[in-house]
Amino acid sequence: MPSVSTRQHWIDTPRGQLFAQCWNPGREQGVPLVLLHDSLGCVSLWRDFPERLALASGRRVVAYDRLGFGRSAARSGLPPTCFVEDEAQGDFQAVCHTLGIERFVVFGHSVGGGMAIGCAAAHPQGCEAVISESAQAFVEQRTRDGIRQAQRQFAEPGQLQRLHKYHGDKATWVLRAWTDTWLDAAFGHWTLDPQLARVQCPLLVLHGDCDEYGSLLHPERIAAGTGGPAWVHVFAGCGHVPHRENPHGVLEQVLGFLSR
């Protein structure tokens, strides 16, 4: 039976230590897949998807907690409005350098999808392909409405404990880093357009047609704005987390894309 081994890494950076984990298939083929988590996410919240992805693709899969999330070090102050673009030269670069990753495929979920596109734009020699899942290409009213709804839910008794389970004492910061940043008027004009125009590698755009944080305008804009070839797949009856709601469908799309 095929198997996957895992290894954890602690990566020192000037701003604090990062946590990363690798899933290594028995016979590794192709460049690694690097996963970038969403606004409330971390390595643990990918659950069994990295293992399934490593088994199905035969590639090493790497996921890491951005600074302030999961098991990585805490950070002070909310992210700047350029935080999506900054990831390519920040934690992502530190992880790749420490783990010896020179060429890669990058897969990002939600805001991690925007960061994945930014990484492809910033590292054209290293990025072979990019996969965005439920990524936002601009600040849509639907996105802000979904965030306000989540904000109300997390204000209810006991709800913040859901984040404490994964982020510990950083949970309040994690929530504010998402809600306060995206609801800030100064962030209202942000778009992925400048990064998209610099992407030359193949791009797979995944989205659910019931995504509560973004309409189908986002995958359309991402596919239209990239400088390289793009494929879009919309999952019917699917919300914001296709890799959890329809993991088989996501794996099928990813493997078909990588085989091209």
Instruction: Count other Cβ atoms within 10 Å, centred on residue 110.
Output: 25
4-259 under CATH 3.40.50.1820, yes or no: yes
| Structure tokens belonging to residue 235 | 């999952």
- Using alpha carbons, select from 137, 227, 115 the residue that is nearest to residue 190: 137
pLDDT tens for each residue of 190-230: 999 999 999 999 999 999 999 999 999 999 999 999 999 99
| Structure tokens belonging to residue 167 | 């982020």
The identity of residue 9, as a single letter, is H
Residue 255 in this model has a pLDDT that exceeds 90? yes
Domain layout of the chain by residue ranges: 4-259
d(CA 119, CA 135): 14
| pLDDT band with cut points at 50, 70 and 90 for residue 1 | low
CA dihedral 57, 53, 226, 138 (to 10 degrees): 180
pTM for this entry:
0.97
d(CA 192, CA 117): 8
Calculate mean pLDDT across residues 44-59. Answer: 97
Query: Residue 234 is inside which H or E element, if any?
Result: strand 230-235
- Using alpha carbons, select from 49, 105, 59 the residue that is nearest to residue 246: 49
pLDDT, residue 43, reads 98
Tokens 């890799």 — which residue? 243
Q: Do the strands 104-109 and 61-65 form a parallel or antiparallel pair, or are they unpaired? A: unpaired
